Amino acid sequence: MATANGAHLFNHCGSNSRFIHFTSRNTTSKLFLTKTSHFRTPKRSFHVNNILTDKIHHPITEQGGESDLSCFSPDAASITSSIKYHAEFTPVFSPERFELPNAFFATAQSVRDSLLINWNATYDVYEKLNMKQAYYLSMEFLQGRALLNAIGNLELTGAFAEALKNLGHNLENVASQEPDAALGNGGLGRLASCFLDSLATLNYPAWGYGLRYKYGLFQQRITKDGQEEVAEDWLEIGSPWEVVRNDVSYPIKFYGKVSTGSDGKRYWIGGEDIKAVAYDVPIPGYKTRTTISLRLWSTQVPSADFNLSAFNAGEHTKACEAQANAEKICYILYPGDESEEGKILRLKQQYTLCSASLQDIISRFERRSGDRIKWEEFPEKVAVQMNDTHPTLCIPELMRILIDLKGLNWNEAWNITQRTVAYTNHTVLPEALEKWSYELMQKLLPRHVEIIEAIDEELVHEIVSKYGSLDLNKLEDKLTTMRILENFDLPSSVAEFFINPEISVDDDTETLEVHDKVEASDKVVTNDEDDTGKKTSMKTEASAEKDIDKKTPVSPEPAVIPLKKVRMANLCVVGGHAVNGVAEIHSEIVKEEVFNGFYELWPEKFQNKTNGVTPRRWIRFCNPPLSAIITKWTGTEEWVLKTEKLAELQKFADNEDLQNEWREAKRSNKIKVVSFLKEKTGYSVVPDAMFDIQVKRIHEYKRQLLNILGIVYRYKKMKEMKAAERKTNFVPRVCIFGGKAFATYVQAKRIVKFITDVGATINHDPEIGDLLKVVFVPDYNVSVAELLIPASDLSEHISTAGMEASGTSNMKFAMNGCIQIGTLDGANVEIREEVGEENFFLFGAQAHEIAGLRKERADGKFVPDERFEEVKEFVRSGAFGSYNYDDLIGSLEGNEGFGRADYFLVGKDFPSYIECQEKVDEAYRDQKRWTKMSILNTAGSYKFSSDRTIHEYAKDIWNIEAVEIA
């Protein structure tokens, strides 16, 4: 079989090519490339052809010669042979039966052969030209399935479909066997993956760096008790895409101590040692030879660290302890950090990503520099982008390497670091602006803490230099807000600014002053626990007054010492040359609120880079019916690369033929979802109902709770009507939810439970029938999104205004002709501007009103809407089962307190929301109007391509240039 199949693949190319292919998959790419393109000979060429490509190019070598690759053809027969070859000679399954899992792996391996040639050629060019590269560091890369995306980018979808048909399989069924790579959770990771796609498509030299999580976040199951988490199994049978680079590994150190050497330098010694090993995943560009890398780090220890003596002595756990400690770093994305061990593991993850990636980047810089390493040129060759605060340790790690290992002085290293590193902020939520315990960091990363302390001291001096003319209270506020180290004394060099002159007081004044201090002390004192764990309290006012009358000094309660912390976001701003928000409104909030002090100090650092999504995955490949319509009516397929051509749909928005085609495409996508929902949840829905979808991470600020309470109100009103009234007043809706609640986020998990309980009640109510359905899709991921988004009619982006940085799902929905209901938050603002105000359903308070509304609540002045109170009582009545929802509903009540007082303003926005939903019903009844709105949403989404975003990063932050692999 080998000779026949291999010969068929290379039947025009001679015996050498056949021999090379049979010898090794990996060496095929290298040796074949050497023969044809001379990449490793003096006659180097910057051109490579895919072995399965029909486009013939004649590359011109440096000396004017040509390489003839015209023997290659993308016919289905050669692809069939390649798939059969891999099924037999690189098998993951037994060869007896060529069933779907086997077919997927063999097909993916065949595609990977094609990618390897482009991949190697891409980096041969980058090595030779020694160009500046961007390195994108992210704790998440939410890739989704790779097969259809890869063959689509290679323009081989038809050829592979025919090849698999020859082998008795359907391409779509084969592709469905691929598990989603469990390397991310939400928008942060999906954005990173869209960026990699655009970087490759636009021919920008770049790498992605992340961690190779064995179990990802978790696999979500929905039971009668709500969400349950089990380990993700995406690597259980391996991944056909990744290539382990056993020759690329770097040492990582934790713990130990720092000492001063005889040369006066500081050295980090001792501690726990592991190594990070590289696994590379190819990222192909669309209609280009450029194929870049996502390099993922896996952690292990050398074999020598296995304690063989202990194992033979029966101490098996002890023998494997070092390996277990190393491997668990890459087990899970975002391990629970309620415990000290969990916090340590998270910090280890972040440092592993930063240290391994920087060592790799520096190694590449040194190799390309040869004998003439000039460290001052490092920022001219390297741009490091930190995707949120998780990679913040890049800053002290780069400083450590440059100073301790490369011998640079502080000023040189600091200048290089600031010019190299940039930071993308993704949130205004305090919980996501990471702060780490100083004590924990000092224990785990002692040398980095020294460096951070030095950076903080320099920052303090700069703040004092800038604002020293202010009064002391304002200067102290600046330092308190802007310092990297939280709850630390000021450096002695500036502490003298804040020394107050001594005040002489008599006994009475002193006693009163002590009393005042006791009364004004932090309220936490009233909840201190004594050694028995019982609550203690301060003295009563009467008792305190009695003490004053007796002129007996009152001994204050022991002061609560605040925990010392390291503010990672502040370190990002200080240590980098650029800070960007991810939507216009978010970037303004970053400047005016989150980092206002830094913006006043360094306004030139701050930029906006509105997020974007790749139109390849999110229209071209996931929505073929709509893609065909767009191509037909715009007269070109160029819109896939030049999304501004989508705007041309505007002039046809009223055309009846286009509207009919548009509705038919939407309905065909909805029919697929009907089958999917039946399979995954058991619920039957009808495709002619409005599909109303909210899919994203479950979080209180994203307000799935507002959505489901609106549905409860709708259901209650339906129940109060007769059947004929219901049909008159309400259009049929299928309300679909999806998303994961973090495993330790109790309130989010209550929301999941509530949604599923409401769904179970409504979906089994014979009076309501198909007029209203509520479905929670378990284990929402990219592949599920690729089904749901093309089928959506209405999508919900209803976060509390000012709390969503950008969003990317709103862009995907708009691209697919979905109309949105939302607040003026994140990218909703810009989407509404582009698609037209009349084509977006707006409700709710605006960002600038939120603080005042919360104060109104705290002052007891908020008057809840009667309809909101009615819904809460309906839930409490037990209408949705016996589960006690007092804690969930209680979070929406009261005027103050943790977990109460409706911090996310669900009650405030509820009346506006349900009134807006009535307008949605009215619009949907007029299908001509609704279809026009849908077309205009797609037409107006052209600005939200990640290609546009990447062009802006490349020009404004990274200063890199595109290089096409011809």
pLDDT tens-place string over residues 67-117: 333 344 468 989 999 999 999 998 888 877 889 999 999 999 999 999 999
Residue found by looking up tokens 């009393």 in the block: 515
User: Looking at residue 547, what is its pLDDT?
Assistant: 43
Residue 808 in domain:
yes
Residue ending a domain, choose from 339, 354, 373: 339
Q: Can you give the residue range of the structural domain that contains 899?
A: 624-944
438 has a pLDDT exceeding 60: yes
User: Looking at residue 940, what is its pLDDT?
Assistant: 97
Number of domains making up the chain: 2
pLDDT tens-place string over residues 760-780: 999 999 999 999 999 999 999
The continuous run of DSSP H or E covering 259 comes out as: strand 257-260
pLDDT tens-place string over residues 886-927: 999 999 999 988 889 999 999 999 999 999 999 999 999 999
Pick left, alpha or beta for residue 499 (phi over 0 → left; psi -120 to 50 → alpha; otherwise beta).
beta
Q: Is 426 a catalytic residue?
A: yes
pLDDT tens-place string over residues 786-836: 999 999 999 999 999 999 999 999 999 999 999 999 999 999 999 999 999
**What percent of the chain is predicted at pLDDT more than 70?**
86
- Two tokens at 1? 């079989």
User: Looking at residue 540, what is its pLDDT?
Assistant: 40
Sort 694 into a burial class: Cβ within 10 Å, 0-12 / 13-18 / 19+: buried
User: For residue 552, what pLDDT band results from cuts at 50, 70 and 90?
Assistant: low
User: Looking at residue 555, what is its pLDDT?
Assistant: 63
Are 239 and 232 in contact, with CB atoms under 8 Å apart?
Answer: no
Q: Is 43 a catalytic residue?
A: no
Q: Is 266 helix (H, G, I), strand (E, B) or coil?
A: strand
Q: Is 696 a catalytic residue?
A: yes
Q: Angle at CA 689, nearest 5°, toward 688 and 691? A: 115
* Window from 355-369, 531-545, 563-577 with minimum mean pLDDT: 531-545
For residue 600, count other CB atoms closer than 10 A to its CB. Answer: 13
User: For residue 473, what pLDDT band results from cuts at 50, 70 and 90?
Assistant: confident
The active-site residue, picked from 483, 696, 750, 854, is 696
User: Looking at residue 75, what is its pLDDT?
Assistant: 83
Residue ending a domain, choose from 287, 320, 339: 339
Rounded-to-integer distance, Cα 720 and Cα 125, Å: 70
pLDDT tens-place string over residues 623-658: 999 999 999 999 999 999 999 999 999 999 999 999
The active-site residue, picked from 812, 857, 872, 932, is 812
**Rounded to an integer, what is the distance from CA 911 to the centroid of its chain?**
32
CATH number for position 112: 3.40.50.2000
Residue 45 in domain:
no
pLDDT tens-place string over residues 571-623: 999 999 999 999 999 999 999 999 999 999 999 999 999 999 999 999 999 99
Residue 763 in domain:
yes
User: For residue 853, what pLDDT band results from cuts at 50, 70 and 90?
Assistant: very high
Query: What's the whole-number average pLDDT of the chain?
Result: 87
User: Looking at residue 74, what is its pLDDT?
Assistant: 66
- Two tokens at 381? 């060759």
User: For residue 553, what pLDDT band results from cuts at 50, 70 and 90?
Assistant: low
Residue 588 in domain:
no
User: Looking at residue 470, what is its pLDDT?
Assistant: 73
Rounded-to-integer distance, Cα 13 and Cα 635, Å: 38
Q: Is 697 a catalytic residue?
A: yes
**What percent of the chain is predicted at pLDDT more than 90?**
78
Q: Is 132 a catalytic residue?
A: no
Residue 632 in domain:
yes
The active-site residue, picked from 697, 703, 753, 797, is 697
Q: Is 632 helix (H, G, I), strand (E, B) or coil?
A: helix
Q: Is 423 helix (H, G, I), strand (E, B) or coil?
A: strand
The continuous run of DSSP H or E covering 438 comes out as: helix 438-444
Residue 448 in domain:
no
Best CA proximity match to 47, nearest among 156, 124, 155, 150? 124
Residue ending a domain, choose from 292, 312, 339: 339
- The separation between the first and the last C-alpha atoms of the chain, rounded to the nearest angstrom, is 35
What percent helix, strand, coil does the chain show, rounded to 5? 55, 15, 35
pLDDT tens-place string over residues 38-61: 333 333 333 333 333 333 333 333
Are 792 and 693 in contact, with CB atoms under 8 Å apart?
Answer: yes
Q: Is 702 a catalytic residue?
A: yes
Q: Which long-range contacts (CB under 8 A, 24 or more apart) does 104-109 make?
A: 104/147, 104/174, 104/175, 104/177, 104/178, 104/240, 105/240, 107/83, 107/147, 107/160, 107/164, 107/174, 108/146, 108/147, 108/178, 108/240, 108/241, 109/25, 109/240
- The mean per-residue pLDDT over the stretch 289-307 comes to 93
User: Looking at residue 926, what is its pLDDT?
Assistant: 97
Residue 57 in domain:
no
User: Looking at residue 560, what is its pLDDT?
Assistant: 81
pLDDT tens-place string over residues 744-759: 999 999 999 999 999 9
| Global confidence as pTM | 0.87
User: Looking at residue 94, what is its pLDDT?
Assistant: 84
User: Looking at residue 69, what is its pLDDT?
Assistant: 35
pLDDT tens-place string over residues 12-37: 333 333 333 333 333 333 333 333 33
User: For residue 302, what pLDDT band results from cuts at 50, 70 and 90?
Assistant: confident
Are 396 and 574 in contact, with CB atoms under 8 Å apart?
Answer: no
The active-site residue, picked from 808, 823, 931, 938, is 808
Beta partners for residue 693, in sequence order: 736, 795
Rounded-to-integer distance, Cα 202 and Cα 210, Å: 21
User: For residue 9, what pLDDT band results from cuts at 50, 70 and 90?
Assistant: very low
550 has a pLDDT exceeding 50: no
User: For residue 499, what pLDDT band results from cuts at 50, 70 and 90?
Assistant: low
Residue 237 in domain:
yes
pLDDT tens-place string over residues 130-177: 999 999 999 999 999 999 999 999 999 999 999 999 999 999 999 999
